[in-house]
Structures are given as C-alpha cells and as structure tokens.
Amino acid sequence: MLTLADDFMRMAQMRDWMAGQSWFDVTQYRINPPQGGAMHWSRPLDIPIAGSVSFFGLFLPSTLAEYLTLLALPLLLLGLLMVVVFKTTKRLVDEKSALVAAFLLPSFPLIIRQFLPGRIDHHSWQILMAALAMFGLLDRNSKRGALLMAFALAFWMHVSIEGLPYVVMFGAILAASYIFPNFASRPVKD
C-alpha cells in the first residue's frame, strides 16, 4: 500500500477533527509545537475519510477501520473517475470505445498513482473534479452542464489552488465557444 507524508498528515487531520478540533481550525499542533503549523488544506475531504472510518469502526477496531479506509476510499474514487470518463467519452464516440477508455484509465501511471490504496490526499479529488468539469462542459443541456462544471471547478478550487490554471482554461473554452459559437462545433450525444 502506497502512502506518502501527505496521506499520513491527512489522516492525522481527520483524527484531530474527529477528536473535537474545530472544523475551521486546520492547524497541525504536531508541527512546530506548541503553537502548531498552519495547514493549507480544507476540511471537506475529511468527511468521506471520517465517514468510512466510522462505518468500518462499527464492525472493526479503529486501527483496522482506518486501514480499510486507506484501501477502499482510493478505489472508490477510481471507480467514480472511470464512470465519469466512460460517460464523457460516450458523449463523443460510441459506447464500446467509451468502455475501452474507462478501462484503460488505470493503465496511465500518472493517474493510477493518485488512486492506489493508501492515497487519501487531495490529488485524486482534483483529477475527479477535472473529469466532472469536462463532463459538464460537454453536456447538451447548457444550464445543467454549467451547474455541474461550476460545482466541480469550485470544489476543485476549494480543495487546492493548484486547480486555478485549469479553471482559467475552462473559462477560456467557454468564452471562445460564446464568441465563436460555430468554431469547432461537434455533435455531442446525450
């Protein structure tokens, strides 16, 4: 199981929150004691981790519940990513090609590395939000697609400022499609 320092810190942050640390206080008091170190992470990603640990904790000791969370959560996110890639690709090509695209996704080293068991840091969420934004961009129902894309990009930015260049890119695509409505238009299936 692959775990990096950020994954351990994410688990520590979730434990602190579950132990009573304020939702709005993401200070890690293990770093630079006694005042602690200010963390740049947001709390929403702690919710699925805490939920999974709490669920498995109904049947197992806490250590085992955390271990199962480290195994299950990245694989669940990978499954969601594969579904989004399948649905997005299906809008552009046929169902068989979309299925191939979804099942080939885990063969890309830069992608799969973020979804290996043990990886609970924010990078898998960033990739999932990028795929969801693309899914929204290709929606024939422009209002529904815009709302989905806005949610995905806003959540991505809340998770990490690393998404800013991609938000600008999606904005540029939307601006170009508004200014040049027939440029590179391609039929998109529902």
Q: What pLDDT sits at residue 3?
A: 67
The pLDDT tens digits for 31-72 are 888 888 888 778 899 999 999 999 999 999 999 999 999 999
The pLDDT tens digits for 100-128 are 999 999 999 989 999 999 999 889 999 99
Q: What pLDDT sits at residue 164?
A: 92
CA distance 173 to 161: 20
Q: Which two tokens stand for residue 57?
A: 């904790």
pLDDT value at 181 more than 80:
no
Name the amino acid, one letter, at 176.
Answer: A
